[in-house]
Chain A
Amino acid sequence: MGPISLLTTMPEWVNLLIAFLIGTGFGFALEQAGFSSSRKLAGMFYGYDTTVLKVFFTAAIVALVGSQFLSYFGYLNLQLVYVNPYYVWAALVGGVIMGAGFIMGGFCPGTGISALSIGKIDALFFLVGGLTGAFLFAETYPFIQNLANSHYKGPVRIDEWMNLSPGMFTLILILIAVFLFWIAEKAEKKFKRPEISNEI
């Protein structure tokens, strides 16, 4: 857990404790940002509420900027960060299934858990559905193994693929983010819906 080189010499339970604390903090932040409401997440799809985009994109670029400066000053070893390997077809098919579940259920797995923790029934059904899906995936894995493993590309990083320095890639991403936030706020005005969050 965690690429902070200081932590690697700590006993396992400290690592797990830190993971627990970070996870709790994450869930709390999700709930506070209103992501336990499926309206908020569906709003992203229909364009009347783009909080999801703003929160997650901001989180991503803040983490990107922070980790790179920490690495530059020698406090963080970015080489220890696990890069997910890229399976082209698995990523495409999985992405479509995940996206469809996301828009139908109104949660992503993380927000589903935080919604369940404040007692939402729909989140309970959503999570049961998710676990059933995971179970079916595991049970049928031998049949879809070929698809899951096809076009393996290894741990690809976009900046390396584009032959850019990580810093330059970060700058481009920040520019895109700022531009998208601006568009998103325009969209919110255009697709505005009456405020109903007080009724629920």
Chain B
Amino acid sequence: MGNLKVSTAIIAALTLLLIMVLLRSFNENLFTRNVEDAISVVKNKTISIQHLADFQHPYQVVNLDGDSTKFKNAWPIPLKDILLPENRKKLNTAENDLLLYSENPATSAKAWVILNQLGIERIFILSDDTNPEVLKYKFQPDTMIRLESN
């Protein structure tokens, strides 16, 4: 009899744990994506305004500066509001690919990471430059320099 009790207690504890795990797994206010995914996909996720015409899929611009005049039909969602429930819902259920735009490339990059890690799949960074991560200057070495002159 005593053994049966112990077994029941074990089963009960396991069930309780399982419920707690499930509750946490479906908690929307937690990041649940593998970070490595973000690093591996982000390099193909930048689109420049100049190449927007070549973009293959129907898209929806999200203006993170909250400005709705720069692009027609853009959703003006300032960065600070992207986690508001109504905006989360809108972004989660969007049918088209989402293009995140901000005049400041840092803003769109930060928003991209946050939304990607919240599990939104088809999001891109819309950039003013054709290639934002290119060095526009060339370093001119000083050939006269020798170590001793330090």
Contact = CB atoms under 8 A, between A and B. Distances in A.
Question: Are A and B subunits of one complex?
Answer: yes
Interface of A: 69, 72-73
Interface stretch (B4-12, B17-25, B141-149): B17-25
Interface of B: 17, 20-21, 24
Contacts of A72: 21, 24
A67 to B, nearest CB: 15
5 contacts: A69-B17, A72-B21, A72-B24, A73-B20, A73-B24
Judged by DSSP, the binding face of B is helix
Contacts of B17: 69
A69 B21 CA distance: 9
Contacts of B21: 72
A187 B118 CA distance: 52
B22 to A, nearest CB: 12
A69 B20 CA distance: 10
B70 to A, nearest CB: 40
Which 5 A-B residue pairings sit nearest by Cβ, starting from the closest? A73-B24, A72-B24, A72-B21, A73-B20, A69-B17
A47 to B, nearest CB: 29
Contacts of B20: 73
Nearest to B25: A72
A73 B21 CA distance: 8
A69 B13 CA distance: 14
A72 B23 CA distance: 12
A159 to B, nearest CB: 14
A135 to B, nearest CB: 42
A69 B24 CA distance: 11
A68 to B, nearest CB: 11
A68 B150 CA distance: 53
A72 B24 CA distance: 9
A73 B22 CA distance: 11
A73 B27 CA distance: 11
B96 to A, nearest CB: 33
A62 B17 CA distance: 15
Contacts of A73: 20, 24
A161 to B, nearest CB: 16
Contacts of B24: 72-73
A73 B24 CA distance: 7
A72 B17 CA distance: 12
B34 to A, nearest CB: 10
